[in-house]
Chains A and B, each alone.
Chain A
């Protein structure tokens, strides 16, 4: 029986929709419920509900055979995973945010808040300004809002939180999509079944 790791955050509903369209029943999984580990006999699967940041680890270490996780988390963690497809729905943007007009000028030295220190470092390395990276674990918008930092690098979905707090999206750094990920060894052992899943997702228009 294979084991699937699903993200229990904002990507869960769209992920379930895509996987169900591809033929998995995943009965009993919804946005509510607190069960973290269940067996879905009809799908011959065990399903784990994990925090986004934990999905790549569980899959890379082979505790789960495959999973779904945002490309933002994948890029930040840089693990050894197979990434055969990106899901069509559930996308958002990784953006530089701050007060209107706060995009750093060339030569500026600023502070930048982010949950993504590695991606933030890569971004700064490609810019004509420099920044001290301040790692925050939540409510990153508060960094520029309370002048802890000048700007922040964070996920923007609709932009509503930014607008409510008087911040703007200064620059889109990357498009973010939920990604289907496979453990390398699991792929070799369950190649036919995992390829069939990707084929079904493609045929049902669930991937980009």
Chain B
């Protein structure tokens, strides 16, 4: 048999310096998480496929590596940590001592189309704060997320922040299919489509948020006000230039809370509160993301509000830090 060093598409080995760099970041990141009161959970790499059919979008489900084992069970490799964590904790939610702060690290495996930077086996470190709702908890997690990213010293971060359902009220009265199409166009920053759908949406595409927040509707305006306060509070703790926070509702336009629109777009909404994503100089893909997903536990019958994030150390370490 001929032996080659090639791995399947989307899978890579980290050798020597790269392995040392990941482990070194992992050590400081987990130490910071522990210092911040987070306890580690270790989740299995294999699980049943079936529980995820109601928890994740059709695309995420299609991307799971699944197989039938010798017992005839349909199993899946871990495609994401959070739904698995929710599945583990939801049945024991009532006995949990909240607020609960947990973190995890490890690989998730998903079939992704062959594209540079999009690995099929993907390492991440993440944290979750369970059992607390409100802007203080959101701010705590955003701040921790930024602290962890800054452990890669010298990295310049642009963090965009929004919230799920921000544009739902502005689309009221439209058919679900129309709304899904408009939201996809806004996420692509298509100005012509946004202009055709109304001046407010054009402002969102162009500036990230409308000049007058009330234009988004009563509920969204209140959420936006809350988000601005979270940004201001968190922003105070970081040096301007190293970290810039920007509210950008277009970036997360497709995170609708309208179930009819979600169904039309064949998605299951993941986030239901504030959402954030971080970009670093020198990388084309985000180095981390997070947000609030109270409904994930609710779908499993547990009333356990949750906010969390995940970081890709490998992408972060490839960014232009010092």
Contact = CB atoms under 8 A, between A and B. Distances in A.
B255 interface: no
24 contacts: A60-B115, A61-B116, A61-B117, A61-B284, A62-B283, A63-B284, A79-B115, A83-B188, A83-B189, A84-B188, A85-B190, A85-B191, A183-B284, A185-B158, A185-B284, A185-B286, A186-B284, A188-B160, A188-B248, A188-B251, A191-B246, A198-B206, A207-B191, A208-B192
A137 B115 CA distance: 21
A82 interface: yes
Nearest to A84: B189
Which of A57, A191, A202, A208 gathers the greatest number of chain B CB atoms within 10 Å? A191
B192 A86 contact: yes
Contacts of B248: 188
Interface string A177-190: 00000111111110
A31 interface: no
B189 A188 contact: no
Given A61-B116, A191-B246, A195-B206, A85 B192 contact: yes
Nearest to A65: B284
B271 interface: no
Interface in B169-195: 188-192
Contacts of A186: 284
Nearest to B158: A188
B103 interface: no
Interface string A47-88: 000000000010011110000000000000001011111100
A85 B279 CA distance: 23
Interface in A159-208: 182-189, 191, 195, 198, 202, 207-208
Contacts of A188: 158, 160, 246, 248, 251, 279
B281 interface: yes
Contacts, number: 56
A67 to B, nearest CB: 13
A195 B285 CA distance: 20
Contacts of B115: 60-61, 79
Interface in B204-262: 205-206, 246, 248, 251
Contacts of B285: 62, 185
Contacts of B283: 62, 185
B87 to A, nearest CB: 29
Nearest to B279: A185
Contacts of B281: 189
A28 to B, nearest CB: 27
Name the 6 nearest CB pairs between A and B, nearest first: A62-B284, A185-B279, A84-B189, A82-B189, A188-B158, A61-B116
A187 B277 CA distance: 13
